Copies of this chain bind each other. A is one copy, B any other.
Amino acid sequence: MEIKVLRNILSANDQIASDNRKLLDSKKVFAVNIMSSPGAGKTTVILETVRRFRGRAKTGVIEGDVASSIDAEKIGKEKVPVVQINTGGACHLDAAMVSKALSNLPLDEIKLLFIENVGNLICPGEFYLGEHKKVVLLSTPEGDDKPYKYPLLFKIADGILVTKTDLLPHLNFKIDNLVKAVRSINQKAEIIPLSAMTGEGMENWISWLTNGIR
């Protein structure tokens, strides 16, 4: 019975996600679902990315958190459209939450939309939101073995950002090990090491995103 209920939930979610996708396509908005563990740097990377697209493409942000509006307040200071979703307790965004957020964003203006998911390396992988690309962040302090332990997100990712590379000199993290772990389950994902602090690798990420903008 549990399994049947879960299937019904996922099927209803996919229907709404498909509607989200049609809306985004009709407005020519490129939407990216940003997923990671808590504290891997999602908000910081989005902030730095929004700054770099200023004057080149209009951006917008949907912020997902269990509680608080800390992240939306940070993004709001950049004067870009932002909507905060609080899930109350749920460990991921779902398509209905995103649908509601989309109705509160100026989609005619936005070319690039970031959907920052709840900080969680497991649950968000089950829920399609209507996005064009799935991007997973792994911060270097988390360790290079994470794709073995949390395979789903790394398997479905279109892009993988290895964040906080500025900390590498202080850590036992090997980029080669991470690439090997990712490639054992995902041959196609673009893997981009970067540091939002120093700016290292940010141009590769910007260029990857630019390819998706219509």
Q: Which residues of A contact B (CB under 8 A)?
A: 1-2, 5, 9, 37-40, 65-68, 70-71, 89, 91, 118-123, 139, 141-143, 145-146, 148-152, 164, 166-167, 170
Contacts and interface: CB of A to CB of B under 8 A. Distances in A.
| Copies of this chain per assembly | 2
Contacts of A1: 5
Contacts of A145: 68, 70
13 contacts: A5-B5, A37-B37, A38-B150, A39-B139, A66-B122, A66-B151, A66-B152, A91-B120, A120-B120, A120-B122, A122-B123, A167-B170, A170-B170
A149 B38 contact: yes
Contacts of A150: 38, 66-67, 119
Contacts of A119: 37, 121, 149-150
A141 B168 CA distance: 12
Given A38-B142, A139-B39, A152 B68 contact: no
Given A122-B66, A149-B38, A170-B170, A91 B91 contact: yes
A173 to B, nearest CB: 10
Nearest to A169: B170
Contact of A149 (B5, B9, B65): B65
A200 to B, nearest CB: 15
A82 to B, nearest CB: 16
A73 to B, nearest CB: 11
Nearest to A44: B143
A121 B91 CA distance: 9
With most chain B CB atoms within 10 A of its CB, the pick from A39, A141, A146, A166 is A39
